[in-house]
Chains A and B, each alone.
Chain A
Amino acid sequence: MSGKAFPIRGRNEVIVVSSHAGRMAREFGLDARRAGELAIVVSELASNIVKHGIQGEIILTLDPDSPPYGEITVEAHDVGPPIRDLKLAMIDGNDDQGPIDPALYLRRGGIGTGLGAVARLADRLEYRDEEGGKTITARFYR
């Protein structure tokens, strides 16, 4: 098992980590579509770190021995405030406070569908509140 951590500071790191994830997935044997989906999930989680996380990192881990055929885990850890209402935040067009006014999309830097996309595309999604931060873990099975 080999984990690689990417500190996320801004949009550049988002692009770098997501393209790295896509490459990694193809090398791991995922098809182009699944690899693209992983890249999107990584990109969404990294964007969220930039927007809400204050400071954080993405850890990509390959585990070829995880049953049955191996998996890739994406851990997004940041030191930002916890997601107040996870169920609400997962609904498209919402953040954890409720619906987002479309007029604010751009000032907010998004359309509120990031977590929804992560949930749709990943095989498994876990959320964990921690002392001084939070971690979202998305898993992709091979």
Chain B
Amino acid sequence: MDQTEVPHVNVASSRLQSVIEALSYASVDEFDSCLALLQLSNEKDEFSELETAFSIFVRELGEAKSELNRALTQQEAANRELEAKLETIEMQQAAIRELSTPIIEVWQGVLCLPVVGVVDSQRSAEMTETLLETIVSKQARMAIVDITGIDVMDTKTADHFIKMARAVRLLGAECIVSGINPGIAQTLTHIGVDLTGVRTLRSLRDALQLYLRETEQLVVQQKSHFARRDSEI
């Protein structure tokens, strides 16, 4: 093949050099520096067409890259938001777990178990377990189970509930069930639950008053007992 038939382009080595430099800028994402280098030459020849094509390619690459970065930043923000939400959900779940059987020591030796929400057989079993354990650990003398927040209970669950009250008695404490609504009262009598040994009062307030009255009586009795003993001596 004859060499002269192939068209040649003469390029100054400095132009070649700047294209190579531009490439190396592009490879490290320095698109602005890269474009600046490519636009330096003002010559119009075949090599400048290559330079132009190259600079268009680089500009588009740069735009795509910055678009991607924007999307990534948005994605990261969304991720952070999602993580925050997940954390909130976890905290709420922990709160739900705690709220499902809260036992409050309202007075020394007096525990209160306010029951709200849905009481199914499993929850009834869990409440019994927790209440009995707490009575022992806190050495409580009285437990008030307030079911004002409960509209309806299955008959067997109600039965188990009353058994819980009796189990409290076996531990040497007294159990008061307060806030029974008409529906549950019907359920309990309908199945003929034995209510002996279970005190029921209208409200939590009544239950606390009863406790205070009884401890007062106890104090008075003790005082008079000591007074009598003192006078005997």
Q: Which residues of A are at the interface with B, using a C-beta cutoff of 8 A?
A: 11-12, 15-16, 18-19, 22, 32-33, 36-37, 39-40, 43-44, 47, 51, 92, 105-106, 109-114, 116-117, 120-121
Contact = CB atoms under 8 A, between A and B. Distances in A.
Contacts of A43: 118, 120, 123
Given A105-B125, A113-B156, A116-B156, 12 more contacts: A12-B93, A19-B117, A40-B119, A47-B122, A106-B125, A109-B125, A110-B121, A111-B124, A113-B157, A113-B160, A117-B121, A120-B154
B97 A36 contact: no
A47 B156 contact: no
Contact of B118 (A19, A112, A116): A19
Number of chain B interface residues as a range = 20 to 34
B118 A18 contact: yes
Name the residue among A19, A51, A92 with the largest chain B CB count within 10 angstroms. A92
Contacts of A15: 96, 100, 117-118
A18 B123 CA distance: 13
Interface string B148-163: 0001111111001000
A11 B93 CA distance: 9
Contacts of A109: 122, 125-126
A126 B151 CA distance: 26
B197 interface: no
Contacts of B97: 11-12
Contacts of A105: 125
B129 interface: yes
A12 B156 contact: no
B24 to A, nearest CB: 53
B226 to A, nearest CB: 44
A83 B100 CA distance: 29
Contacts of A106: 125-126, 128-129
A19 B153 CA distance: 14
Contacts of A117: 120-121, 154-157
Top 9 nearest A-B pairs (CB, nearest first) are: A36-B152, A117-B154, A113-B156, A43-B120, A36-B151, A47-B122, A39-B118, A12-B93, A110-B122
Contacts of A120: 154-155
